[in-house]
Amino acid sequence: MGILLRVIAYNLVWAACVLGAANGNTWIGPLAALVTVAAHIAASRQRIAEAKLVATLAVIGLIIDSGLMHAGILRFNGQALIVPLWFAALWPAFATLLNTALMWLRGRPMLSVLFGALGGPFAYFSGAKLGALQLNNNLTLALMVIAMEWAIVTPVAVWLAQRFETGAKGQSFESEATDVSESAAPVALEGGN
């Protein structure tokens, strides 16, 4: 899967989640996210690292946005203990962009902060305008809190993506080095006889 295809897939997931929720079809978005994330992981060279990244961001997003919901920043129809599945599904879909389309944010923490502070509120505001969720009546407050959320989460997510990828490369290198040294040991002993 190329970068452009991943960006298109993410935007389709976003549209499926938001428009599905706005029209009472809340299952469409999570299904689209599941297919997109599965295809992304299957196409990845480091499947375990990507799966860890997706899972980590899914948990982070679920906790943060559920907190915002309980604080009254976000509101959903039929509120429960956590945000609806269609909303939570956006986080793993977002994770598919971190080692592809958003790789240019690596090593640029201030740009990551700015990207998150602008992009996060825009996405939430757009979702609210389309009728998928409601924001706090004090719209300025809601958008400022969401901007702060994403100003923190975006550089952290970029850092996590790089850390998981680097860890996977290190483990791969270590296992290859161990395999080589273990297979070379008998040869060295035989050669010494």
> pLDDT, tens digit, for every residue of 121-141?
999 999 999 999 999 999 999
Mean pLDDT confidence for 38-46: 95
Which pLDDT score, from 0 to 100, does residue 15 have?
A: 98
Residue 100 in any domain: the answer is yes
Sign of CA dihedral 117, 119, 124, 126: positive
Q: Mean per-residue pLDDT for 12-34?
A: 97
Task: Average the pLDDT over 56-68 and give the result.
Answer: 97
- Sign, CA dihedral 93-96-100-105, equals positive
Task: Please check the confidence at residue 164 and state whether its pLDDT lies above 50.
Answer: yes
Q: Looking at residue 169, what is its pLDDT?
A: 72
* Res 58 pLDDT > 90: yes
Q: Which residue has the higher pLDDT, 189 or 7?
A: 7
The whole-number average pLDDT for the span 78-107 is: 95
Residue 167 included in any domain: yes
Predicted local distance difference test score (pLDDT) of residue 24:
94
Number of domains the chain contains: 1
Residue 188 located in a structural domain? no
190 located within any domain? no
Instruction: Return mean pLDDT, the chain.
Output: 89
Domain contains 102: yes
For the entire predicted model, the pTM comes to 0.84
Rounded Cα–Cα distance for residues 105 and 42 (Å):
24
Q: Tell me the average pLDDT across 23-45.
A: 96
Listed in sequence order, the residues at least 6 apart from 36 whose beta carbon sits closer than 8 Å to its beta carbon are: 9, 10, 12, 13, 93, 96
Structural domain containing residue 118: 3-177
| In-domain check, residue 53 | yes
Q: Can you give the pLDDT at residue 30?
A: 98
| 54: CB partners within 8 A, 6+ apart | 37, 40, 41, 92, 95, 96
**What would the mean pLDDT of 108-120 be, rounded to a whole number?**
98
State what percent of residues in the chain have pLDDT above 90: 81
The CA distance from 150 to 119, in Å, is 8
∠ CA 162-166-172, rounded to 5°: 150
pLDDT of residue 181 exceeding 90, the answer is no
Task: List, in order, residues 6 or more apart from 88 with CB less than 8 Å away.
Answer: 58, 61, 62, 65, 82
Cα angle 140, 141, 146; round to 5: 100
